[in-house]
Chains A and B, each alone.
Chain A
Amino acid sequence: MSEPFEPKITAFVCTYCTYAGADLAGTSRLKYAPNVRIIRLPCTGRISPMFILKALQKGADGILISGCHPGDCHFTHGNYHARRRWMVFRALLSFTGIPEERIKYSWISAAEGLKFADLINNITEDIRKLGPFDQYHKLIEETQAQASL
């Protein structure tokens, strides 16, 4: 009997809003799916597209990127820069065949613990329905195969 599929989700969040929101979810004793691995960064402007590729390279099935609402950035406009970058990167990933549904973006403030918990639950369910990202996992396996001489 095979075990049910548990998606691996990587969340890149900014420390000033979304991380604080996640913290609030925790201190409010809200339960949310344990499938998410949160990586805390200074600002969404710090989130390089390379992080997304790295997460996929390490076998993530889904990715969440989240930061402060527009106008709320601790560094005044890190999230505006990030938004443009995501827009372009998202189109590029879609064109190369990485499904848009696997990579989600959100604004979550420090007061939105509930939104964070709900979002994680929803994303987990969505990715569970999509199943593992087999196409990408096959590429990863290829790199791990033993070299035959």
Chain B
Amino acid sequence: MIPREFEYYAPKTIPDALGLLKQFGDEAKLLAGGHSLLPMMKLRFAQPGHLIDLGRIRELKGIREDGGTLRIGAMTTENELIWSKLLQDKCPLLVEGARLISDPQVRYKGTIGGDIAHGDPGNDHPALMLVLGASFVLKASTGERVVPADGFFVGSYATLLKPGEIMTEIRIPVPAPGTGTCYAKLKRKVGDFATAAAAVMLRMKGETVQEVAIALTNVGASVLRARAAEDSLRGKAMNDASIAEAARLAMSICDPAADQRGDAEYKTAMAGEMTQRALRTARSRATH
């Protein structure tokens, strides 16, 4: 399995990469960790004429906190997320999520930016980004814009990223102290995408749910925000009945494609189960 022919470029700066993108237009593709793109090129599902490798642009790396916001370079790898003390302290959900992605070798190469930009409904970062209220910095040769994660994922392999743009940074507001989070992912084996998964972010005030966000992976054309489920929980006490009702509402928005991981009914049921598990775990991790 060998990709079709292409020209390769390894720019060292963002302006150089943007210049190449502009020059080659639709013919060009950006290469990040390559662990979605190269497999697709090997199978000839993707056949770019020009490949622009972001791997030598240092500015695109690193994790830092800046005035209550976590700023993560798009080329930061999954293992770098897992090993980050800052994230473990301030945003353990991202560490938990990254640990569930694929296997160690893929995590040395795969990047958070690539995972988000790819737009595969099976990718795990989109759900984490939705519940964390993240936003993405998208740079073009004409300027930059910052778009919220909510609304960014518009369909299967479709996002708001435009052809001339590079995602440079992921911004995440540091969750308030006491926030409980969880990513519950069901997969058949190590290295597999989710059969179904649920991300939850939860803030409690005593026994009452003050704020809650729920997002589902791989049970629709893109990541799903389970708003009705969130609404059913907000402002009320959390118990077995309300958790079951939230799961039912989450299941009602699922529309998964049947594949070797199961039929639509099974995947929908598992999305409900993952929602319940993530809610329970997030509650146990939240300060009351």
A in complex with B: no
Query: Which residues of B are in contact with A by a Cβ distance under 8 Å?
Result: none
